[in-house]
Amino acid sequence: MAIQERRIIYKHVDEPGYTADIDCYLRNGGYEVLKKALQAKPEDLCKEVFDSGLTGRGGAGFPTGMKWKFLDRKSGKPIYLVCNADESEPGTFKDRQIIYQDPHQLIEGMAISAYAIQAKQAFIYIRGEFINGARILETAIEEARAKGFIGEDICGSGYSCDIVVHRGAGAYICGEETGLIESLEGKRGYPRIKPPYFPAVLGLYQCPTIVNNVETLSQVKHIIEMGGTEFAKIGVKGDTGTHIFGVSGHVQRPGYYEIEAGSATFGELLYDLCGGPLPGRKFKALIPGGSSTKILRFGERFTGKHPNTGEPFDWGVEDIPLDAISLRACGTFLGTGGSIVMDDSTDMMEVIANLMAFYGHESCGQCTPCREGSLWLNKMTTRMTCGHARPEDVDLMKNIADQIEGRTICAHGEAVAWPVQSHYNKFKDEYLDKIAHQGDGRGRYNPNGYPLI
């Protein structure tokens, strides 16, 4: 096998005999990094994170150290740390493995991060449906508090910070950091307009707040353990560390794979680790990083100059390196790494209808384009899958998406628009062909078909 996983975050995930309790964690060297970190100056820890080049693993990929630098420390207000555990993007299931199988890794990462930014209170905002996850985290927090790793006077350092688990009510938009903050404040989960104020300046309760993803905060532990500069050696320029790829769909071995950024290609991931397509099938399309990212079509070519090396590239989907920079060069995003694979049995019209059903349902309704556009797209694509598509619907669908993209408060507008735009660019022929053959049985009537995603 040419490709090897490099498990850092997932080191103990699925490890036989490894449990979520603190004793198991301590037996495996748990909380030693926290003890070490508490002896360092907070600003030095922030510098390590900055030097590591870590980018947020929630999907947007913003540099974590930079986000921490934006903190308004002069305001005199309390600083809050919020862990975004509202993992809701279709195709994405990486954070829950950390929560379910190695919760103390997250808590240690949070304790270190909280100390680094000098937060006295931290929250884990967890998706409402993750009932067991919330229970596991609450148990783990109790254990950590009992051992003095969080709470008052952590490890005798004089530093105190507590962590509270807050269950959301099950809204995709509450995974957006400002929507999350509103929800955490007890309000309706509406994203806030920014600028003028970013959470690092005015966040939770109008105080400076850092919102980081579960995986991001877990990574902090490893950054401090190995040093920022050393961590930065993993991966590629602009995308350091490892990425967890949650592969779902039409592969033989779907699952989660932790891979050093840029160390392998999608082809290696899908064929070597995931076992390739199902018997007798061929890969047709790939959504690389969660359902909102732009779809790729097997067989298409991506050409250009690589931003990192300046070297010209000519790749098929299988050749794209597994890092954020390369994927961006191919016109899509790494996002959360939630890769959805579709083979040649897949009806792309049903795929887009499925996605629009989700995004239409999850639009919070704050901004006009997203509120009305996503439901319009939902209705339209549902109608199309029911055999009532019109040829002009294809262009109309794209035009509606264009009217949403970049015109909303939060990125949900892009999440609605990107799948439609990319489908239009890559599968327009298939759409038109299907519409042309609606009457002869190829335009299937399948409004309640099994969800493909």
Partner 1 sequence: MSENGQPKLVTINIDGKDFEVPDGMNLVDACESVGVEVPHYCYHPHLSVSGNCRMCLVEMGMPMRDRATGEPIMDDDTGKQKIGWMPKPAIACASKATPGVHIKTQSDLTKSCREGVMEFLLVNHPLDCPICDQAGECRLQEFATDYGRGFSRYVEEKNVKPKRTVLGPRVTLDDERCILCSRCVRFCSEIDKNPVLGFTERGSHNTLTCYPGTQLDSNYSLNTVDICPVGALTSTDFRFKMRVWFLKPTKSICTESSAGVNTEVWSREGKLYRVTPRRNDEVNDTWMTDSGRMLYKLVEAEDRMQRFRIDGQVASLGNAVLRARELIQLGSVAYVASGHLSVEEQAMFGKLVAKEPGSVTFVSHAEEGDGRLITNDRTPNVRGGLVTGLINELPVAQLDQLRAQLEAGEVATIVSYGEDLVAAGIPADLLKKANVVYLGTHRNATTDLARVLLPTLTVFEKTGTFINQQFRLQKFYQAVPGPAGLMPDVFVLDALLAECAGGAPCRPTLGQIWEHLNETVDILKDVNFSKIPETGLLLDGSAYADLPFCEGPGWHYEPKAELAAATANL
Residues making contact with partner 1 (CB under 8 A): 171, 188, 193, 195-196, 360-376, 379-380, 383, 396, 402-404, 406-409
Contacts of 221 by beta carbon, 8 Å cutoff, 6+ apart: 33, 34, 105, 108, 109, 112
CB of 7 or CB of 194, closer to partner 1: 194
Residue type at position 78: P
CB of 30 or CB of 203, closer to partner 1: 203
Q: Which of 211, 222, 214 is nearest to 246 (CA)?
A: 214
Residues pairing with 121 in the sheet: 80, 162
Q: Which of 335, 245, 295 is nearest to 59 (CA)?
A: 335
> Burial code of 113-150, b = ≥16 C-beta within 10 A, e = fewer?
bbbbbbbebbbbbbbeebeebbebbbebbebbbebebb
Minimum gap (Å) between residue 42 Cβ and partner 1: 27
Minimum gap (Å) between residue 71 Cβ and partner 1: 21
Question: Which stretches of 250-394 are assigned E, i.e. beta strand?
Answer: 255-260, 283-287, 296-297, 302-305, 312-315, 338-343
Minimum gap (Å) between residue 396 Cβ and partner 1: 6
Cβ of 11: how many Cβ atoms within 10 Å?
14
Minimum gap (Å) between residue 293 Cβ and partner 1: 18
CB of 171 or CB of 287, closer to partner 1: 171
CB of 227 or CB of 447, closer to partner 1: 447
CB of 242 or CB of 374, closer to partner 1: 374
* Phi and psi angles of residue 257, each rounded to the nearest 5 degrees, phi first: -135, 130
Q: Which of 245, 240, 164, 147 is nearest to 204 (CA)?
A: 164
Minimum gap (Å) between residue 33 Cβ and partner 1: 35
Q: Which residue has the tokens 């579960």?
A: 214
Minimum gap (Å) between residue 401 Cβ and partner 1: 11
Contact 298, 348 (CB under 8 A): no
CB of 135 or CB of 390, closer to partner 1: 390
CB of 268 or CB of 405, closer to partner 1: 405
Burial of 41 (0-12, 13-18, 19+ CB in 10 A): exposed
Minimum gap (Å) between residue 69 Cβ and partner 1: 15
Q: Which of 140, 404, 435 is nearest to 292 (CA)?
A: 404
> Burial code of 160-197, b = ≥16 C-beta within 10 A, e = fewer?
ebebebbbbeebbbbbbbbbbbbbbeeeebbbbeeeee
- Strands 121-126 and 162-167 turn out to be parallel
CB of 94 or CB of 192, closer to partner 1: 192
CB of 53 or CB of 191, closer to partner 1: 191
Minimum gap (Å) between residue 373 Cβ and partner 1: 6
CB of 78 or CB of 365, closer to partner 1: 365
Q: What is the DSSP letter of 55?
A: B
Contact 342, 250 (CB under 8 A): yes
Minimum gap (Å) between residue 168 Cβ and partner 1: 13
Tokens of 61: 């990929």
Minimum gap (Å) between residue 388 Cβ and partner 1: 10
Phi-psi region of 335 (alpha: psi -120 to 50; beta: other; left: phi over 0): left
Minimum gap (Å) between residue 392 Cβ and partner 1: 8
CB of 388 or CB of 426, closer to partner 1: 388
- Strands 283-287 and 296-297 turn out to be antiparallel
